Structure 1
Amino acid sequence: MTTNVAGGGVRRAGRRVAGNSAFHIFCRSGLVARGVLYLLIGWLAVQIGLGDGGQEADKQGALQTVAGKPGGTVMLWLLAAGFAGLALWRFAEAAFGQPAADGRKATKRLASFGRGVFYSAGCVTVLNFVLGQGGSSSNEQSKTYTARAMEHSGGRWLVLAVGAGFLAWGVGSVVGAVRRKFLERLNTARMGPNTRRFVKTLGVVGRASRGIVFGAVGVFLAYAAITFDPGKAKGLDGTLRQFAGTPAGPWLLVVVAAGLLVFGAYSFCEARWRKVEAVRDGSRGRTGRGGRRRLPRIG
């Protein structure tokens, strides 16, 4: 009984935090941090496509770029805090549900948990960098982790599963972008008609571009597992460079990189209009005209 009471108290405290306006601001700061990171990665990739890029077009390259600027250390700490906000937001959704009609479904909450883990890893990466522990490029990390996994029984299938997960995420992002599903997660009622069209365009182009890139990362991971060759695995930088090796040449990389720049800009729009309040237990939604369920005001 005592355990149940304590657990209920913790859950209620968690719901209060998730519903606090300060927590929502913290979450939105994470979306700004994500936007900054994608703008940097996209710009580095554009430079590579144009033949004058020296840094890797991935998180490490972006962090090195920030560190080399005046006030870079402060900016890095802000990025780390932003990714912590993203992770906590997603874990709150996993615990209490996403702000959508079907946000309490197990699949939705599991997806939020996965994103929470992803952003937690991003936060750790930034913290390691700012604390001087550096880090290898995404390509080296991908090859290293793939090789380590394949040393163990069943590791090959784990790598294949991770690759399939990235591919599914990428395809889902592209399909969702084309179908404009992301608009359901935005407070579009607070936008004017022109703003809504502008944000929709950014979302379609940006989210589809990111989906294509991460889907390609998944393809390379799956290929490494199928061929039992960790050297075939590629991180974000290596995947982007592969676009330059297609018959379309470097210009395809420039186009994809421009799409990542657009996603960075779209992230700022999400920071302004994204619904970030997790669904509270017991909030089944009020009933509107005709018995249709109406969600509580969110955001």
Structure 2
Amino acid sequence: MTTRVFAGAGRGRARAAAGGSAREGAARAGLTARGVIYLLVGVLALQIAFGAGHREADRSGALQELADQPFGAVLLWALGIGLVGMALWRLSEALFGAVGEDGHKAKKRLPSAARCVFYAFVAYTVLAFAVSPANGSGGSSDQQSRDVTARVMDVPAGRWLVGAVGVGIVVAGVVMGVQAARRKYHKKLKMGELAPWSRRLVDVTGVAGGVARGLVFATAGAFAVRAAVDYRPDQAKGLDDTLRSFADTPLGPWLLVLVAAGLVLFGVFSFALARWRRV
């Protein structure tokens, strides 16, 4: 009897270890895939800032850039599978809780559920592009934003809904930027494993990249609010138009250069998370 109890306990620990390894692998693959996308979008935005860009600085442009590389099809499939891993990791957090003291609370699990849906959609678009690059990746982010905004505005109270979503995106962007500036990501890292050089790398990329990412989100949300106020869906902007709008400020293309460089750094930060994040 005792032998069976110990054997059952051993099998339970083995299953838990296997599940933990699968979850960790999915998380690290997903963070790496996210890093690739931000890195490519940042590079495309830099090319636009310097007048050399011929592709949109969004996910569709990043996928087309990958497709043109040697072994592009393999890279696209790897990226899509990595994003599937990200979606599954977020799903596991929504179902079973995330790491940390309050990881099992609803305030952590509900955002994980939303991230799961988002990354599942992104993974689908990437894999669909990998299957048939000629059909594109579902259109540019700018056109998608305008189409979705127009459809929502056609429903009752749609204008208010667009405005509320825009305000939510602005708030999310501000929170992202503030948390990055305050280095809140330290709570999610294996700080004991970081050497002095890697700590500096994480902080430079985490702060600069996180602030730039938050600024892009907040700006896109502000355009959605403006579209709702003016009742003009065409004023909603996707990632590409949002980035290009930074070049129309008094600082000219240099603000776009700073933001684009920040997105490149956020891509590097995602690679660092893939290595040292607690999952």
TM-score scaled to structure 2, two decimals? 0.90
In the alignment, the residues of structure 2 paired with residue 117 and residue 16 of structure 1 have an alpha-carbon distance, to the nearest angstrom, of 25
Task: Please say if 1:268 is aligned against 2:271.
Answer: yes
State how far apart, in whole Å, the 1-side matches of 2:44 and 2:17 are.
Answer: 38
Q: 1:18 to 1:37 in 2, by over 3 A?
A: farther
In 1, distance between residues paired with 2:130 and 2:204?
35
Q: Is the 8 A contact 1:17 1:23 kept in 2?
A: no
Unaligned runs of 5+ in 1: 1-11, 277-299
Tell me the equivalent position of 1:5.
none
CA RMSD in angstroms comes to 1.6
Deviation string, structure 1 residues 164-202 (Cα, Å, up to 9, x no partner): 221111111111011110110111111123321221121
Conserved? CA contact 2:91–2:116, under 8 Å: yes
Residue 210 of structure 1 aligns to which amino acid in structure 2? R
What SS is found at the alignment partner of 1:124?
A: helix
Report the secondary structure of 2:103's partner residue. Answer: coil
Identity %: 52
Aligned to 1:131: 131
Q: Distance in 2 between matches of 1:234 and 1:149?
A: 15
In 2: Cα distance, 1:16 partner to 1:129 partner = 35
Aligned to 1:280: none
Counterparts of 1:18 and 1:153, CA distance in 2: 49
Q: Is the 8 A contact 2:212 2:263 kept in 1?
A: yes
- Gap runs ≥5 in structure 2: 1-11
Q: Shift of the alpha carbon at 1:17?
A: 8.7
Q: Is the counterpart of residue 169 in structure 1 residue 172 in structure 2? A: yes
Aligned to 1:199: 202
1:42–1:260 contact (8 Å) kept in structure 2: yes
Residue 65 of structure 1 aligns to a residue whose secondary structure is helix
Q: State which drifts further: 124-133 or 231-240.
A: 124-133
Task: Answer whether contact 2:87 2:116 (CA < 8 A) is retained.
Answer: yes
User: For 1:153 and 1:248, how far apart are their aligned partners in 2?
Assistant: 40
Return the structure number with greater helix share.
2
- Structure 2 counterpart of 1:264, one-letter code: G
Provide the residue aligned with 1:122 in structure 2.
Answer: 122
Q: Hey, which bits of structure 1, 4+ residues long, moved more than 4 A?
A: 15-18
- Match for residue 150 of structure 1 among 144, 149, 153: 153
Alignment partner, residue 180 of structure 1: 183
What is aligned with 2:61?
61
Q: Give 1:212 shift.
A: 0.6
Distance of 1:233 and 1:141 partners within structure 2: 10
Residue 210 of structure 1: aligned partner:
213
Partner of residue 45, structure 1: 45
User: Structure 2 counterpart of 1:258, which letter?
Assistant: A
Q: Check whether the contact 1:43–1:257 (CA below 8 A) recurs between aligned residues.
A: yes
Distance in 2 (CA, whole Å) between partners of 1:130 and 1:238 is: 25
1:250 maps to a residue whose letter is P
> Quick one: which of 236, 240, 251 aligns to 2:243?
240
Shift of the 89–18 alpha-carbon distance from structure 1 to 2, 3 Å rule, reads farther
Compute the displacement of 1:16 (Å). Answer: 4.6
* Counterpart-to-counterpart distance in 2, 1:49 and 1:136: 22
Aligned counterpart for 1:256 among listed residues 233, 238, 259: 259
How far residue 91 of structure 1 moved from its aligned partner, in angstroms, is 1.4
* Distance in structure 2 (CA, Å) of the matches to 1:163 and 1:17: 42
Q: Is the 8 A contact 1:42 1:258 kept in 2?
A: yes
| Residue 74 (structure 2) aligns with | 74
- Shift in Å at residue 228 of structure 1? 1.2
SS at match of 1:167: helix
